[in-house]
Amino acid sequence: AADGLHELINHVKLKTSIIHSLMIGERLLKDLQGLNDEIISVQLSDSVSTALQTLKQHSIRVIGVKDADGDFEGLVTVFDIMAYISFGCFDAEKVDIKRAKEELEKPISTMFGQTHDETKKLWCFEESTKLSEVTHTMSANHIHYAIVEAEDHSFRLLSQYDLVQFLLASENKEELKFAQKSLQELGLINPAGSPVRVSVESTQTALYAFRLMELTSHSSVPLVDPNTKGVISTMSASHLREIDTENLDLVMKPATRFLESIHALEPPVTCRESATVIEVLEKLVANNHRHMWVVDEKFQFVASVSFSDILKLVA
């Protein structure tokens, strides 16, 4: 199985990026604690529905895929499955729930290879790689997940979330001088070249929201009140972990009804432009979110700030 993973992984030659004034730049990947010792996987022959169940069972956003011999074929994220359900299970003009359910029962190999660029190409780092190099590569290439190869040639999964948790560790906080500045001071409010800001009115269907997320390359979007335009909740690709063949029709309900049906209509994770980077990171980690909605005094959506945006500051 390890040989199959070795053959697929693209070992990248990284240009060293020194983090000025941050000692963490000299630390190595092996200094990270708490990485998963196992890459949870499904078989190529398992159904898309089984993949969703596995994601839900382990409360994860990405799984490995193996062939019949146990060789590693690659990764599939909940964002990949969201795209498959949004456009592969439903026709653009006609909604056929019966056909959509049949699509969920097809093997994961049906959608494998048609995933997003991030999961078509596996990124691997050796344990001896500097954190500065890893952070630079993951932020510059919009990589949310990568593989870490240990000295014994075993593999672990690395995410941006792991990097952020490391930065927030008590022994590292003192070194994050830039993190005491506000989002506005650091130019994180809608910088030039940033993705188009999008939101979804709460009366739109969940399917509409998921399709918009795929078309605009957003893994989550804020839900806004159609009258006040204030942010009231968040729609995320990870919500699809609650979907199976029995409740697939929920995606045809208004977004707020969908959320209430699968879990709860949770309040959004928001801040103002004056919030410091450290405050944003701590709030995101505490709520297990990857995106912060920046709002104004009327609670209207102003900007989105993600882990990727912040990691670029230390890369």
235, 118, 88, 61 alpha-carbon torsion, rounded to 10°: -50
Predicted pLDDT at 16: 32
Structure tokens at 247: 């409740």
Predicted pLDDT at 112: 75
Structure tokens at 271: 């801040």
Structure tokens at 302: 């102003």
Q: Are 240 and 81 in contact (CB under 8 A)?
A: yes
Predicted pLDDT at 174: 64
Domains along the sequence of the chain with CATH: 2-171 (3.10.580.10), 179-314 (3.10.580.10)
Predicted pLDDT at 15: 30
| pLDDT digits (tens), the chain, 315 positions | 555 555 454 433 333 332 333 456 578 888 887 776 678 999 999 999 999 999 999 999 999 998 888 888 888 999 999 988 888 777 655 667 788 888 899 999 888 766 777 777 778 899 999 988 898 888 888 889 998 888 888 888 999 999 888 888 756 666 677 788 999 999 999 887 777 889 999 999 999 999 999 999 899 999 999 999 999 999 999 999 998 888 988 999 999 999 999 988 999 999 999 999 999 999 999 999 999 999 999 999 999 999 988 888 876
145-149 and 155-159 beta bridge pairing: antiparallel
Structure tokens at 103: 């699509």
- Let me know if 274 is exposed, middle or buried by CB neighbors in 10 A (0-12, 13-18, 19+): exposed
Predicted pLDDT at 177: 72
Largest CA distance in the chain: 58
Predicted pLDDT at 235: 96
Predicted pLDDT at 315: 63
DSSP state string for 7-52: HH-EE--PPP---TT-GGGG-BGGG----BSS--EEETTSBHHHHH
Query: Measured between alpha carbons, how far is 120 from 196 in angstroms, rounded to an integer?
Result: 24
Predicted pLDDT at 25: 59
User: pTM to 2 decimals?
Assistant: 0.85
In order of 44, 107, 169, 209, the CA distances from 306 in angstroms are 32, 32, 19, 19
Query: Measured between alpha carbons, how far is 80 from 84 in angstroms, rounded to an integer?
Result: 6
Predicted pLDDT at 87: 82
- Phi, psi (degrees; rounded to nearest 5) at 270: -130, 165
